[in-house]
Amino acid sequence: MYDYTTLDVKSKHGVLHVVLNRPDVYNAFNEQVIEELTECFTRIPQNESHCVVLTGNGRHFCAGADLGWMQKVASYTKEENSEDSRKMALMFETIDRCPKPVIGRVNGSAFGGGVGLTAVCDYVVCSEKAHFAFSEINLGIVPAVISTYVLPKIGISRGRALFLSGERFTAHDAVAMGLVHTVCPAEELDRVCEEKVEILRSSGPRAMAAVKEMMRKWSALPREEYARYTTELIASLRASEEGKEGISAFLEKRRPVWR
């Protein structure tokens, strides 16, 4: 089912591992990576996994745009560039809208679009050796598409400073600004990710999907409309099979059985 050229995708113990697999170019994007990530995350809602771990092979998480691809798009017309950008935007949107929790296992540095990949993860565990940068400005372009997901996490003030300068920042800086949640030695990444997965196993799958949708509604709907939406949401979840199982399990002091 998951047979890709630029990705290594495997399911293990209810966790789907999506691994960027171009270590020779630091897992940089090109057209094929964008197409395969989009296709992969389009399929994930039908997958039986409880959550997803997104990471990279080799020393780096993702170096952003592949230089060969950038050289090619430099010769595109404006219309061709618009179509190319639309495909990239669809990739980030598809990952962001994944109804299952996405854990970012940032095994090394992330630049440009790689920071965008970090931003669309729900929880990010990062190697203490990793560095980040919005390096687009050094190429005479801007982090336009990824700003949709980056700015809500790091804020306008940091966005203005870092987008304009392109300067590097550390994993601990990324925690301080809300882009990353946990920093650990590289050799402990798997252990920390597994701990997070175990925590997520206690959460209802439908409820987790509802949380992700609720976060999007919060920033999109007027306050009164959002209040009406949340009222209906909690009523629906309480009446659902999953909600009833969760409440029963709590009252009976047992682990819930999720379907």
CB 132 within 8 A of CB 110: yes
In the chain, what percentage of residues exceed pLDDT 90? 88
Mean model confidence pLDDT for the chain: 94
> How far does CA 165 lie from the centroid of its chain?
24
Kindly tell me if the per-residue pLDDT of 1 is higher than 80: no
Phi-psi region of 11 (alpha: psi -120 to 50; beta: other; left: phi over 0): beta
* Alpha-carbon radius of gyration of the chain: 19
pTM for this model (two decimals): 0.94
Q: Take residue 35 and report the two structure tokens written for it.
A: 């197409």
Condensed to tens digits (0 to 9), the pLDDT of residues 27-86 reads 999 999 999 999 999 999 998 999 999 999 999 999 998 888 888 887 888 888 889 899
Burial of 231 by CB count in 10 Å (0-12 exposed, 13-18 middle, 19+ buried)?
exposed
CA distance 12 to 35: 24
Condensed to tens digits (0 to 9), the pLDDT of residues 149-175 reads 999 999 999 999 999 999 999 999 999
Condensed to tens digits (0 to 9), the pLDDT of residues 88-136 reads 999 999 999 999 999 999 999 999 999 999 999 999 999 999 999 999 9
Angle at which helix 156-165 crosses helix 144-154, to 10 degrees, equals 140
HEC per residue, 170-200 = EHHHHHHCCCCCEEECHHHHHHHHHHHHHHH
Q: Take residue 136 and report the two structure tokens written for it.
A: 């687009």
Q: Take residue 168 and report the two structure tokens written for it.
A: 């590097």
